[in-house]
Amino acid sequence: MSSGALTPEQTDRVVAIAMDLAREGSTEQLVEFVEHGLPVDVTDAGGNSLLMLAAYHGHADTVQALLRLGADPDLRNARDQAPIAGALFKGSDEVVAVLWEAGADLDAGTPSARTAASMFGREHLLTGRPGHRSAG
């Protein structure tokens, strides 16, 4: 029968399912995928990580769970976008707070979180939090 290894097609399908779970904020199921061997920083064809998709779609609990599992808060996609900038773009204040607390780099990506906050009048989300990293 099988040696237990997935074919490339099966692997692609597992990644696609995980990406959908991240978009939907299905935290428990997504955590199971990672705990059973799916790399926490796996990306889709566009370079989007599970964390990026969860952040962009406003799922703070999922973002927090992925960070606890070791997800890179600064992993940018193929368009050089960072998760915190995506959350700012979408107006997901709670996700921005979770990523900020995790030490997300406010100057990473294009546009950076600082630039995105300025563009969308959300600078207040990037000031005054304990443990923040400042430029320089």
pLDDT for 107 beyond 80: yes
Query: What are phi and psi for residue 123, nearest 5 degrees?
Result: -55, -30
Closest by CA to 130, choosing from 102, 105, 109, is 102
Amino acid at 70: G
pLDDT of amino acid 15: 95
| Domains parsed from the chain with CATH numbers | 8-126 (1.25.40.20)
Contacts of 42 (CB under 8 A, 6+ apart): 15, 18, 49, 50
pLDDT digits (tens, 9 = 90+) for 25-34: 999 999 999 9
pLDDT of amino acid 130: 42
**Strand, coil or helix: 116:** helix
pLDDT of amino acid 128: 60
pLDDT for 131 beyond 60: no
CA–CA separation, 92 vs 23, rounded Å?
14
Length of the chain: 136
pLDDT of amino acid 125: 84
Instruction: Annotate 24-67 with DSSP letters as a single string.
Output: HT-HHHHHHHHHTT--TT-B-TT--BHHHHHHHTT-HHHHHHHH
pLDDT digits (tens, 9 = 90+) for 51-81: 999 999 999 999 999 999 999 999 999 999 9
pTM, full prediction: 0.88
